[in-house]
Every structure is written in C-alpha cells, then in structure tokens.
C-alpha cells in the first residue's frame, strides 16, 4: 500500500512539473493565432460564415450559383501577393490597416473559401430525404437544419475548420501587408528570426510539429480502426 501511495505521489509531482513546463508554451501557441491578448480565433467565425454560404449556394437559384461560387472561392486561386496588395489598398483609406478588425476580415477572406468547398462537398453527398422526412414530421426548417443537416455534414464541418485553422495560422503574406504594430505568429517568428533565434520561437515551432504529428497519427489510427471494423 505504501509503495502504491509513493507511486501516486511521484506520478502527481511529475504531472504537475510537466504541466508547469508545457502550459506556457501552449498558451503562447494559442495566443499567437490572434493579434489580441485575449483568445479569439478567426477560424471559428470563418466556419460559421462558410457553412452558411455553402448552404445558401447549395439551395440558391441555379442561375446565380456558379457565379457566386466562383466569386467566393476565388481567394483560393489568386496569389496571396495580389490579395495582400488589394486588401491593403482597400483598407488604407478607411484606416483598417494594422487593426484587429482588418486582420480578422483579411483572414476571413482567406479562410472562408476552404469552408465553402469542404462543407459544399458534404452537402452534395447528403441524403436529402432525411431532411424532407424531418420537415414532413413537423420539424421547422431551422430545426431540421440544426438537428438533421448539420450532424450529417459533420465531416465537412470538421474538415473546413481544420483547413481554416491551418490557413489562418500559416498566413504571412497578406498579414505582412497590413501589419505595423499588430502582429501574429508568422510575423513574430519572421521578425525574431531576422535578428536572433529566441527560445520561445523554437518552443512554438517544436510544439507545432508535435501537435501536427499527434493529429496525423490519430487520423491514421482512426482510419485503420475503421478499415478493420468494415472488414470484420
């Protein structure tokens, strides 16, 4: 019994030490996604806007569907240098450059197209009869959308959120056009590497690699388990 208690005590101390060492780096990584001190993520808003746009495109008039879709996903095709110059020229007269609002809008322009594409693909493969059955049984259209459609397109929502997160976190060119006093993780890393290599930059880079490797391993493991279940 005493050995068990000693083991639990040592394990608790080791866990606390690990949290003490890792937690500051996690907070630094989370805060690096935004130019503010509080934790706010452009990908969240991009997911909401992109999902609404994808549903609107999927159910809108056929005449305008292709034109609207092309316009909304065009930031995926245009070079980021062109986008950065265009956004800067638009933001400069209205003093949105080097502001949190300007950063948020610029990141939404880049992130929303990925959400539209992934969620739109899920909507195309969804069984519409399930939504129609929910409406015929008395559910309102918003309720059917919330209880039936969104759970069915969950893979597209997750994929869109991941792509939006990666795009926002990795964006440098457009942000560099707008940044002066405000900063994001790529801008801070670039500025630090221009003068000296700080330990915090190495910590963020290392933690990013670890998180990416862990997510990839989890997806591979989940895919293997799903394949085994189908075979069985």
Shared domain for 141 and 222, answered yes or no, is no
* Residue 50 lies inside a defined structural domain of this protein: yes
Say if CB 103 and CB 182 are below 8 A apart.
yes
121 lies in the same domain as 219: no
Q: Are residues 170 and 205 in the same domain?
A: no
Q: Do 86 and 140 reside in the same domain of the chain?
A: yes
Please check whether residue 219 lies inside any domain of the structure.
yes
Domain limits at 231? 197-232
User: The domain that contains 77 carries what CATH number?
Assistant: 1.10.3720.10
Q: Do 97 and 130 have their domain in common?
A: yes
Task: Give how many domains the chain has, as a whole number.
Answer: 2
Do 77 and 46 lie in one domain? The reply is yes
Q: Are residues 135 and 230 in the same domain?
A: no
Cβ-contact 157, 51 below 8 angstroms: yes
Q: Is residue 11 part of a domain?
A: no
Provide the b/e sequence for 99-111 (b: ≥16 CB within 10 Å).
Answer: beebbbbbbbbbb
Compute the distance between CA of residue 104 and CA of residue 84 in angstroms, rounded to an integer: 13
202 & 165 share domain: no
Q: What is the pLDDT of residues 133-149, one digit of tens each?
A: 888 888 888 898 888 89
On whether the CB atoms of residues 140 and 34 are closer than 8 A, the answer is no
Tens digits of residue pLDDT in 166-224: 888 778 788 878 876 666 767 776 766 666 656 666 666 666 667 767 777 776 776 66
87 and 159 assigned to the same domain: yes
pLDDT digits (tens, 9 = 90+) for 46-78: 888 889 888 888 887 777 788 888 888 888 888
Query: Is the pTM here over 0.75, yes or no?
Result: no
């Amino acid at each position: 019994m005493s050995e068990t208690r000693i083991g639990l005590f040592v394990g608790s101390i080791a866990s606390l030490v690990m949290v003490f060492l890792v937690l500051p780096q996690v907070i630094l990584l989370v805060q690096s996604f935004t130019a503010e001190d509080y934790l706010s993520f452009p990908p969240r808003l991009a997911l909401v806007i992109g999902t609404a746009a994808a549903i609107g495109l999927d159910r809108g008039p056929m005449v305008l569907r292709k034109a609207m879709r092309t316009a909304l996903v065009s930031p995926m095709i245009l070079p980021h240098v062109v986008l950065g110059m265009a956004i800067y020229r638009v933001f400069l007269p209205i003093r949105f450059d080097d502001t949190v609002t300007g950063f948020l809008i610029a990141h939404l322009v880049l992130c929303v197209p990925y959400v539209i594409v992934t969620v739109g693909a899920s909507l195309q493969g969804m069984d519409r009869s399930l939504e129609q059955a929910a409406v015929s049984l008395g559910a309102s259209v918003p309720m059917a959308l919330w209880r039936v459609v969104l759970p069915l397109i969950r893979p597209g929502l997750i994929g869109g959120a991941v792509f939006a997160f990666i795009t926002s976190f990795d964006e440098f060119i457009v942000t560099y056009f707008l940044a002066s006093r405000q900063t994001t993780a790529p801008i801070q890393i670039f500025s630090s590497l221009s003068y000296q290599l700080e330990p915090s930059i190495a910590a963020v880079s290392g933690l990013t690699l670890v998180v990416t490797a862990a997510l990839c391993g989890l997806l591979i493991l989940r895919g293997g388990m799903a394949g085994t279940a189908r075979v069985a």
